[in-house]
Amino acid sequence: MEVITRDFFLFLSKSSILNRLARNWGSSIATGKIIGGKDFESSIPIIRGLNEQGLTVTVDHLGEFVDSKEVARERTQECIRAIQTIAQEKLESHVSLKMTSLGLDIDLDLVRENMTSILDTAEQHQVMVTIDMEDEVRCQKTLDLFKEFRQRYEYVSTVLQAYLYRTERDLEELNQYNPFFRLVKGAYKESPEVAYPDKKDVDENYKKLIKKQLLNGHYTAIATHDDKMIQFTKDIVNEHNIGKDRFEFQMLYGMRNKTQLELVKEGYNMRVYLPYGDDWYGYFMRRLAERPANIAFAFKGMTKK
C-alpha cells in the first residue's frame, strides 16, 4: 500500500496540468501553510517568527529543471538577493538550492559560474548554502561539483539520500572534505537497480548513515519527521557523548510544528525548511510521496488558522 501511495503522489508531481492549476489558483492556499510566499520578501516575517521561537531556517526558491541560460541566471540572482537580505535583516537562515535551477542540465561551466557567484556572496556574509540532491542520474555530477566548491568555500553543504545504494560509499569518499551533510531518505521515483525499493531497507540505511556521519565528527542535519529516527539519533548521541552543537534536526515548514518546538525546548538545534515561490506543487507532491504520514501532517498544517 505504501508503494502504491508513493507512486501515486510521484505521478501527480509530474502533471503539468495540475502544476499549472496550482500556480494559478493554489498559491493562496499554500502560502503561510506549507510555503513562505510567492517571493522571499513575503517570507521574511515567517522566518523572523520562527527565529523568535528558537527555530532556525533554510529557505528554498522553488523551481528546477531549468532549460534556459537566462532563467538560470535569474535564479542565481534570486539566491544572491536572498543571501544578502538574510545578512541585512540578521535572520537565522541558510539557503538551499537545486543545481538544475542554475543550469546543471544546460552546461557545467554555466552552473559553475552561477554557483561561484552565489558562494562568493555566501562567504562574504557567512550564510550556509546547501546544494539539494535531485534524482539519481544527477547525483554524480552534483557531488563532483560539491567537491570542487568545498575545496574553495567553507559555507557550502549538500544532501545525501538514504534510499540510494551508493550513498554509504559517497559518505565515506566525501569524509575527507569535512562535509556538512543533510541526511534524508529520498523523494524521487528510482529504479530498484539504484535504490532500495522497501521502506524497511531505506530506514536501516538511514540509521547507518546517521551513525556514521555523527561518529565521523562532522556537523550533521537529520531531516526527518519520523519519531523512530529522532529517537535513534538521540540514543546515538547520548551513547557516544556527542554534543548537541554537532548536529541538528530538520523538518518541513507546516509539518509537525509541535514536535519542532518540543525539540527546541529539549535543547536540540531545530531547522525549518521553508520553500517559497509559485512552483510549489511538485515539491509538495514529492513530500507526500516521501512518507505517507506526511499526508496527515500536511493536512493539519494547511487547515490551521
Spatial distance between the Cα atoms of 138 and 97, rounded to a whole number of angstroms: 14
What pTM was estimated for this model as a whole? 0.86
The binding site for FAD consists of: 133, 161, 185-187, 199, 224-225
The binding site for substrate consists of: 98, 286-287
The three grid cell numbers given for residue 198, joined into one nine-digit string? 522497501
The binding site consists of: 98, 133, 161, 185-187, 199, 224-225, 286-287
The three grid cell numbers given for residue 11, joined into one nine-digit string? 505521478
pLDDT in tens, 187-216: 788 999 999 999 999 999 999 999 999 999
Among all chains, which residue has been given the C-alpha cell 514536535? 259
Spatial distance between the Cα atoms of 159 and 207, rounded to a whole number of angstroms: 15
Spatial distance between the Cα atoms of 194 and 223, rounded to a whole number of angstroms: 21
Q: Which of 6, 75, 150, 182 is catalytic?
A: 182
N- to C-terminal Cα distance for the chain?
Answer: 32
Mean pLDDT of all residues in the chain? 87
Q: What is the pLDDT of residue 266?
A: 98
pLDDT higher than threshold 80 for residue 300: no
**Would residue 132 show up in a list of annotated catalytic residues for this protein?**
yes
Give residue 202's Cα distance to chain centre.
18
How many other CB atoms are found less than 10 A from the CB of residue 66?
A: 22
pLDDT band at 288 (very low <50, low <70, confident <90, very high): low
Which residues, listed in sequence order, are joined to residue 270 by a DSSP beta bridge?
Answer: 249
Return the minimum-mean-pLDDT range out of 34-43, 67-76, 263-272: 34-43
Return the minimum-mean-pLDDT range out of 4-13, 70-79, 251-260, 262-271: 4-13
**Would residue 279 show up in a list of annotated catalytic residues for this protein?**
no
Total domains present in the chain: 1
Domain limits at 101? Answer: 2-303
To the nearest 10 degrees (0 to 180), the angle between helices 40-52 and 69-88 is 40
Q: What is the pLDDT of residue 13?
A: 46
Q: What is the pLDDT of residue 18?
A: 47
Q: Which of 60, 132, 170, 279 is catalytic?
A: 132
Q: What is the pLDDT of residue 189?
A: 82
| Cβ–Cβ < 8 Å for 272, 57 | yes
pLDDT higher than threshold 90 for residue 262: yes
Domain CATH for 265: 3.20.20.220
Q: What is the pLDDT of residue 203?
A: 97
Among all chains, which residue has been given the C-alpha cell 569518499? 173
pLDDT band at 157 (very low <50, low <70, confident <90, very high): very high
Return the minimum-mean-pLDDT range out of 29-33, 110-114, 143-147, 269-273: 29-33
Average pLDDT over residues 127-135: 96
Nearest alpha-carbon partner for 99 in 124, 125, 119, 81: 119
